[in-house]
Structure 1
């Protein structure tokens, strides 16, 4: 009986802080969703309550008056292109490091892992001038390339963990059947590493979609703004135009795809990261 009471108290002591932390995290998001359907008068009159009537006017205003549609397209473009470039560069590199025992392969892997420890902020100024030299400044393609390069070390680190446990006998059998090294990579290794590929792609996509600082530095015209920059612009405007409902609506537009994506792939992400940790 004493053990049961102790277990109950122990579990309660663990759960109460977790419940409080969950409320602290979820309530501002819930409040933001409510504010997106309120008029400005309702936000000032009853900021913490439910809207009197759910209206889509704030979403329409954000879409039409602040060009959120263009910013959504820009964010979607840099997210997809950045994720694709990252995979195109990371998969062959991870395979070469893990499977091709060339001189310096371990040093190269250590170099990539070490790059994960370097703050990206240290490269912003050189990248700014490099993009300017290449005529890629204020260009969403240039921003996509920067995003892809910034996530290469992490992606390579995860993919090498998955590739390390694929039996080499599969590659040897495929080579004996006449499959070229590129065929082995794309037809054998890549499908067997799909769990890790999906995991890093989702994590990279969420990172690219939410990224703000590099977009702020490398994008200059409003037509090229990503969603994070557009929301920042609306936030500064809201101080003078009282467009708080429009700001909340823009935040809902930005956060909804991330919530849906994570909700759909939550188990796959957790499974992929766990497998990568064990295999590494």
Structure 2
């Protein structure tokens, strides 16, 4: 007769610790979620409600705020510019980062350690710190006020961290698959496209999510390198909109614009958060 397993009793200190941790997480969730929820609710209020009763629920749904955000504040144009910049930046970044990480992570050659350390050192050089010489260089080369060159700057600025992230995933892939592909007649490029990229998909998805957040929310370089109103991205457009709406007293349109901008980031994270978490854990364990 099998002995019944004894019930494990939790010590009072462990129980108190778990309760304190849960309380901390609840408070942190409220601190993060409440401003977002308040912003969405304010986007459905009239200007009078925003000024007189900012903490109350809206008396009705003012959909005109969203219409004004698109028609008068031109949020749609800013979003389109940001989408174009993000797509170009992501294409340039993946084209440069994936082959570089493949070479640094899986090939043996003289100088590999130097190049690896060189890219790692680049992580600590923020784009803001070199924005003045970068502006002078782009001005001399007539690259200012161009969405493609802004995207190229974004991708270059994110390249060191992206290579550092992907190199860990490249190293975790067994060499047997690569050797089998070589025996079947695949060259280095064919092996990268057909074998390595599918197996490094978690790392690439993680890179895409991080890159999207960085490119979508970047403000300083977009404000510095883009001068035409019709080419401004979302962060710059929102900053200009906030200054304008302060004097126009159209607070509903301002909060509606903020809600529209938040929507893509929330959707992207909601759809990819499991793959993002799994990719980060996989890279941390096998990198």
Q: With the length of structure 1 as denominator, give the TM-score of the two structures.
A: 0.96
Give runs of aligned pairs for residues 205-244 of structure 1, distance below 5 A.
205-244=212-251
- 2:42–2:252 CA contact under 8 A, matched in 1: yes
What is the CA-CA distance between 1:130 and the residue it aligns to? 2.2
Give runs of aligned pairs for residues 1-280 of structure 1, distance below 5 A.
3-280=10-287
What is the CA-CA distance between 1:267 and the residue it aligns to? 1.1
Q: Relative to 1, partners in 2 of residues 1:241 and 1:273: Cα closer, same or farther, differing over 3 Å?
A: same
Alpha-carbon distance between aligned partners in 1 of 2:9 and 2:109, rounded to the nearest angstrom: 62
Provide structure 1 residue ranges, at least 5 long, that are not aligned to the other structure. Answer: none
- What do residues 10-53 of structure 1 show as CA deviations (whole Å, max 9, x unaligned)? 21122222212221221111110001111101111211111111
Alpha-carbon distance between aligned partners in 2 of 1:119 and 1:200, rounded to the nearest angstrom: 18
What is the CA-CA distance between 1:2 and the residue it aligns to? 7.9
- 2:120–2:164 CA contact under 8 A, matched in 1: yes
**Deviation larger for 8-17 or 28-37:** 8-17
RMSD (Å) for aligned C-alpha atoms? 1.4
What is the CA-CA distance between 1:4 and the residue it aligns to? 4.5
| Secondary structure class of the residue paired with 2:242 | helix
Q: How many residues align?
A: 280
What is the CA-CA distance between 1:79 and the residue it aligns to? 0.8
What is the CA-CA distance between 1:241 and the residue it aligns to? 1.1
What is the CA-CA distance between 1:119 and the residue it aligns to? 2.4
What is the CA-CA distance between 1:218 and the residue it aligns to? 0.8
- 2:66–2:257 CA contact under 8 A, matched in 1: yes
Q: With the length of structure 2 as denominator, give the TM-score of the two structures.
A: 0.94
